[in-house]
A = this chain, B = another copy of it.
Amino acid sequence: MGDLIGRLRDGLPEDAVLTDPDVMRSYATDMASFCAAGAPGAVVLPRTVEQVQHVMRTATALRVPVVPQGARTGLSGAANALDGCIVLSLVKMDRIVEIDPVDRVAVVEPGVVNADLSRAVAEQGLYYPPDPSSWEQCTIGGNIGTASGGLCCVKYGVTAEYVLGLDVVLADGRLLKTGRRTAKGVAGYDLTRLFVGSEGSLGVIVRAVLALRPEPPQQLALAAEFPSVAAACEAVCRIMRRGHAPSLLELMDGTTVRAVNSMARMGLPESTEALLLAAFDTPDPGPDLAAVAELCREAGATEVVPAEDAAESDLLLQARRMSLPALETLRPATMIDDVCVPRSRLAEMLDGTAAVAERHGLTIGVCAHAGDGNTHPVVCFDPADPDEARRARESFDEIMALGLKLGGTITGEHGVGLLKKEWLAKELGPVALEMQRGIKQVFDPLGLLNPGKVLDA
């Protein structure tokens, strides 16, 4: 270990190498529940590409595994430390290098916080859509590594859609440039997209060229109350079938609504079984909102309340963003699932989730990016009760099995990490798994980059 620290220090500033065990422990985990984490051998916080290259060369020379990290807000354990590893935190590489309103691109370092970038581009009339719940903390590098989503996706897609090109330090320290800065480009295999969602297992992203959009008008929302989750899902189907393009289409089940009310007194309807939020950010959202209100009523909504203005719309969004923290107050611990199904199967997914909860005698609150069919069932339980903990884990797994049965995926936006490795193998099947392993081998032949994440070695 002494050799490791010494060699790291040879190419890094004094304050960029942390070795205090307590400090290192604070870098050991992301926000996933119940994923194993080891004790790092060193934590490094480089500020330049050259320093990252030095770290990777050292790791390769000494055959030490490296765990790249952003703000550690991930939900799948992908950023968890391994025993003796180098934790490579990119948070100090946090410069916005360039924002270009004609080319509509931003060039950023990986440690830039999502919200900082969003605000910086907004000052120039531009919009960087990806907005994961943790947007005030999470970094762009982490967003790319985990292919983050958010509330915007139903209209604007996920992080992947906004990554045009990358600079990546490979396992052996060489610098790879992928992609482009142009609007279009098809020169060779798409390496850029391979890194999006690769959770630090193929290389270390040290710079990104991101696509931007013109800033849309502020969105205007409505809230619709339904007597059942299935009715709310039927409304979602009707809205999409009718060709609407909402900028937001979110669902909170009754459990979630009541949890949010009791945490924050939001005044949401206490007795509802499902609350659907829809918004439009077009210059004239009135006709769309009116049509969607009518479709909600046709699907069984008992009440439809349009927001008076953008401020009231923001309040509805805040309520939605509180879902997870609110559900976390219900029991000592939670496990958050992230199953995405074709939206036509959403009602089956959510009814099936309720059946799982009932069968196991557990509270499972659900919020969902309904327009995308992406559900977040939150399994609430007490880990101190071994039987309850076992039932929680079984529920978590049954929910993924149901998602696969309905033609869905085990992860819409949270990634695989440690949490869902076994399930990834089930989703992909042996041929795809073999190809995935082959790709890992191309970029990281020694298996030093975040080993044991995403795929087993």
Selecting from A238-246, A251-259, A299-307, A320-328, the interface stretch reads A238-246
Beyond A177-B429, A428-B188, is A340–B183 a contact (Cβ under 8 Å)?
yes
Smallest distance from the beta carbon of A145 to chain B beta carbons, Å?
A: 10
Smallest distance from the beta carbon of A190 to chain B beta carbons, Å?
A: 5
A342 cross-chain contacts in B, Cβ below 8 A: 100, 102-103, 105, 181-182
Smallest distance from the beta carbon of A213 to chain B beta carbons, Å?
A: 8
Beyond A240-B104, A431-B175, is A190–B194 a contact (Cβ under 8 Å)?
yes
Smallest Cβ-Cβ distance to A178: which chain B residue: B432
The answer to whether B125 and A243 touch across the interface, beta carbons within 8 angstroms, is yes
Smallest Cβ-Cβ distance to A342: which chain B residue: B103
Chain A 424-440 interface 0/1 with B at a Cβ cutoff of 8 Å (1 = within): 10011101100110111
Instruction: List CB contacts (< 8 Å) of A219-273 with chain B.
Output: 237, 240-241, 243-245
Instruction: List CB contacts (< 8 Å) of A178-226 with chain B.
Output: 178, 180-191, 193-194, 196-198, 202, 213-215
The answer to whether A372 and B182 touch across the interface, beta carbons within 8 angstroms, is yes
Selecting from A61-69, A310-318, A381-389, A408-416, the interface stretch reads A408-416
The answer to whether A237 and B102 touch across the interface, beta carbons within 8 angstroms, is yes
A55 cross-chain contacts in B, Cβ below 8 A: none
The answer to whether A187 and B427 touch across the interface, beta carbons within 8 angstroms, is yes
A153 cross-chain contacts in B, Cβ below 8 A: 183-184
The answer to whether B100 and A344 touch across the interface, beta carbons within 8 angstroms, is yes
Most B CB contacts (10 A, CB to CB) among A237, A241, A410 go to A241
A41 within 8 Å of B (CB atoms): no
Beyond A102-B240, A431-B170, A431-B175, is A187–B411 a contact (Cβ under 8 Å)?
yes
The answer to whether A214 and B344 touch across the interface, beta carbons within 8 angstroms, is no
Most B CB contacts (10 A, CB to CB) among A125, A170, A240, A432 go to A432
9 further contact pairs, Cβ within 8 A, besides A182-B340, A187-B428: A102-B344, A147-B186, A170-B431, A176-B435, A182-B342, A186-B409, A187-B424, A191-B436, A435-B442
Query: Which A residues are closer than 8 A to B by beta carbons?
Result: 100-105, 125-126, 146-147, 149, 153-154, 158, 160-161, 170, 174-178, 180-191, 193-194, 196-198, 202, 213-215, 237, 240-241, 243-245, 282-284, 340-344, 369, 371-374, 407-416, 424, 427-429, 431-432, 435-436, 438-443, 454-455
